[in-house]
Amino acid sequence: MNFPKTLAAACIAGVLVVPLATQAAGDAAFPARPITLIVPFPAGGVIDATARMIAERLQFQLKSPVLVDNRPGAGGTIGAALAARAPADGYTYLLGDAATQVYSPAIFKSVKYDPVRSFAPIGQISYGPLVVLVGPRSASKTVAELMEELKAGGDKVDYASNGNGSTPHLATEMFKQVTGFRSAHIPFSGGPAAMTALAAGDIGYSINHIPLALSIIATGRVRPLATTGATRSSVFPDLPTLGEIGIKGYEAYSWTGLYAQAGVPAAIQQRMSAELKDALQDPDLQKKMAALGDVAFYRSPQDLGRYAAAETARWLPLIRSAGIALD
């Protein structure tokens, strides 16, 4: 899969525009007060880092405060549901990702929002491959050696994810299905906790976000073995992709997008989409994201809706075949 070009059909909800809201959005009245960006994951994680970079840039452009509000829990669904219930006035946004818009609504039985009907896509923010990691408990120096460990150990070789329904959870389940090996899932309350456990030798391996892993890789306690994209990561140019070493049909990416409530006036949606596009063209922001292994990548509201629909179609069969379902 060529990530930036993969698109499929999706339904785009229509929006009723009222003249008063349109006028307010088109002049200096918007924004008239601080904007809140809800991050449905813990502070210190990769999604949080992306949110804070975007909030800083949007705050500069809008000349109005953009406040980051971390609301973690239940695979991102607690924060996403909170964002969905916020007034549709253009002052509350969700920093969504594959977990909130694709995986978790299919995994959790009591999700209190609809990833398509509850939100209006504003634009994609970023994407990036993941990295396969082992800690001191593993002697593996290559993915082939890790696969030998899995073959010998079965469920005794466990893996860490950043929580049920997170991208690392689903990426590792796909790895298991493609390779045919077993391993036990140990979910943690966010990426930092998962990386701490891996570095301590409490967990065998993890397929996780590159930005999250960089600092702990630098300590030498965690070893990177491969990345999960179609091409090598600019951060790890010497690491092969899983496809290069013979694991065909496997690609996994993290991605983020900005979402408003479905009822936000069209003029505000358009304004914020244009501001987001401008923010992602900032060279300093691009460098910061690239240094963390992510790519600043704008995709229009319509194309983001189509892309999320394509990802849903790609991951739902895996979720069902793996029997992943949580209350």
User: Whole-prediction pTM value?
Assistant: 0.86
**Calpha distance 280→296 (Å, rounded):** 6
The reported pLDDT for the residue numbered 28 is 57
- How crowded is the C-beta side of 30, counted as CA atoms within 13 Å? 21
Q: Strands 92-97 and 205-209, how do they pair?
A: unpaired
Residue 301, CA distances (Å) to 116, 122, 221, 250, 315 in order: 12, 5, 41, 27, 21
Quick check: is 295 in a domain?
Answer: yes
What range defines the domain where residue 57 resides?
Answer: 3-127+255-321
SS3 state at 131: strand
Q: Do residue 67 and residue 209 come from a single domain?
A: no
Whether 265 is covered by a domain: the verdict is yes
Position 15 pLDDT exceeds 80: no
Please determine, for residue 65, whether its predicted confidence score (pLDDT) is greater than 60.
yes
Q: Is the pLDDT of residue 60 over 80?
A: yes
**What is the pLDDT averaged over residues 127-153?**
95
How many helices and strands (H and E) does the chain possess? 12, 10
Q: Does residue 238 form part of some domain?
A: no
- In contact, 38 and 69? CB cutoff 8 Å: yes
* Mean of pLDDT values over 185-201: 94
Within-domain flag for 167: yes
Reduced to 3 states (helix: H, G, I; strand: E, B; else coil), residue 313 is: helix
Question: Who contacts 73 (Cβ-Cβ below 8 Å, separation ≥6)?
Answer: 40, 79
Mean pLDDT of 15-36: 60
Query: Which CATH number covers residue 139?
Result: 3.40.190.10
Look up the CATH number of the domain holding residue 52.
3.40.190.150
**Lowest-confidence range among 18-27, 72-81, 135-144, 310-319?**
18-27
In a shared domain, residues 82 and 134: no
- Average pLDDT of span 202-219: 94
Distance of CA 42 to the CA centre of its chain: 13
Give the pLDDT confidence of 83-125 residue by residue, as tens digits: 999 999 999 999 999 999 999 899 998 899 999 999 999 999 9
Token output for 40: 């449905």
* One domain, residues 175 and 286: no
